[in-house]
Amino acid sequence: MPRSTVARVDLEALRHNFRLAQSRAGGARAMAVVKADGYGHGIVNVARALASEVEKFAVACIEEALAIRSAGLEQPVVLLQGVHTPDDLRDCVQRGFEPVMHCHGQLDWLAAGPNPRFWLKVNSGMNRLGFRPEELDSVVAALGPSATTGPLLGFVTHFACADDLTSDMTDHQTRLFENATAAWPALMRSVGNSAAHFRPGQPLYDWSRPGIMLYGASPMIGKTGPELGLQPVMTLEAPLISTRVVRAGESVGYGASWVAQEDTRMGMVAIGYGDGYPRHAGTGTPAAIRGKRVRLLGRVSMDMLAVDLTGAPEALEGDPVELWGTTVSVDEVASCAGTIGYELLTGVTARVPRVCE
Ligand SMILES: *Cc1c(COP(=O)(O)O)cnc(C)c1O
């Protein structure tokens, strides 16, 4: 028998969240971002579950797009980082991938080789990838007159601060992008990570690109996914494999970092940082047993962690423990570990089976 440490994936919740993204996209259509193995949920699981309602998928790199094709799905797949070699362009043409070209080197490959349908990335202020707004005229002109009536689908930009409603950066980026692309009204425009769907009045143009919100975790500073109307998709669960009473004055785990003030019933859970549970989650991080919240004690080990059973006196060895899911949001655990839900979801390791329900 394998240990019962699993990541349960609720596909109905995923579809609910996609519909919420679509309903918050204004006139835009939402492409589903399924990079990083579907944010840790299994790219094939996620793409298949959304296939009947999603018109386009988006991934970071071509291997991920090939995984969607090998699952038998035929929607166009946007490659958010473009292509990494000139040979990839042939795959793009043959398989209907739409690379987002972000630099002159990629455009040189395009000039010399096969032309898939593609997007141009505009750097409106993120300063990771893309052409500057003032460069766009000359970049498009250099593609030649046939580009704007065929292979060039349109323009993409990405927001740096859409998660922060007090920042004016997104308005600034939106204005720059809109002005830079105004000369080509027949081409499409794509902006909008998940956070942009929660910004009142934010234009999302033709295609928005929700990622994290599809999985039920929050894209917004200071809010959990459920507070935004999202349903958690992953429940990370592991069995309680041992219980004991730690006496007042005794410690638990590596570094003896937590010391009992009074006799405390505690339990060991079969999950640790080797499964992707964050080692930086300290004493007090929430988990749940039988729907009741309990707290972590001491340091997370590679294969185990300790919980205080005071809050769940009826807990028994063999009980499943929820590390995050419907009772404890992944956003809460992330904030206890000094990170974001994105990192926790994508960090669940291959040792943990994904079980779709
Ligand atoms: C990852 C990514 C997204 C999705 O972002 P979320 O914050 O997960 O919604 C959208 N656009 C680009 C370019 C990305 O890299």
Whether 24 lines ligand 1, by a CB cut-off of 6 Å, is: no
For a mutational test of ligand 1's pocket, the pick from 18, 24, 35, 80, i.e. the residue with the most ligand atoms closer than 8 A to its C-beta, is: 80
Per the annotation, where are the binding residues? 128, 302
Confidence label for 3 from pLDDT (cuts 50, 70 and 90):
confident
Given this model, what pLDDT does residue 147 score?
83
- Express each pLDDT in 48-102 by its tens digit: 999 999 999 999 999 999 999 999 999 999 999 999 999 999 999 999 999 999 9
Ligand 1 atom showing the smallest separation from residue 219 Cα: 7
Whether 212 lines ligand 1, by a CB cut-off of 6 Å, is: yes
Q: pTM of the prediction?
A: 0.97
- Secondary structure (H, E, C), 236-251: EEEEEEEEEEECCCCE
Ligand 1 atom showing the smallest separation from residue 39 Cα: 8
Confidence label for 1 from pLDDT (cuts 50, 70 and 90):
confident
35 catalytic, yes or no? yes
Examine the pLDDT at 146 and tell me if it is beyond 90: no
- Region 102-127: what's the mean pLDDT? 95
How far apart, in whole angstroms, are the C-alpha atoms of residue 279 and residue 254? 12
How far apart, in whole angstroms, are the C-alpha atoms of residue 197 and residue 208? 8
Examine the pLDDT at 148 and tell me if it is beyond 90: no
Report how far ligand 1's centroid is from the alpha carbon of 285 (Å): 28
Ordered structural domains, the chain, with CATH: 11-217 (3.20.20.10), 234-356 (2.40.37.10)
Confidence label for 150 from pLDDT (cuts 50, 70 and 90):
confident
- Region 236-240: what's the mean pLDDT? 98
How far apart, in whole angstroms, are the C-alpha atoms of residue 201 and residue 196? 10
Examine the pLDDT at 113 and tell me if it is beyond 90: no
More confident residue, 238 or 114: 238
pLDDT mean across residues, the chain: 97
Helical packing angle, 62-70 and 88-95, nearest 10°: 30
- Express each pLDDT in 264-319 by its tens digit: 999 999 999 999 999 999 999 999 999 999 999 999 999 999 999 999 999 999 99
Catalytic residue among 56, 205, 223, 254: 254
Radius of gyration of the chain from Cα atoms? 23
Report how far ligand 1's centroid is from the alpha carbon of 57 (Å): 12
The two tokens of residue 27 are: 């006139």
Whether 80 lines ligand 1, by a CB cut-off of 6 Å, is: yes
Please answer whether residues 238 and 223 qualify as being in contact, where contact means their C-beta atoms are separated by less than 8 angstroms.
no
Residue 53: which of 214, 219, 226 has the closest Cα?
214
- Express each pLDDT in 330-347 by its tens digit: 999 999 999 999 999 999
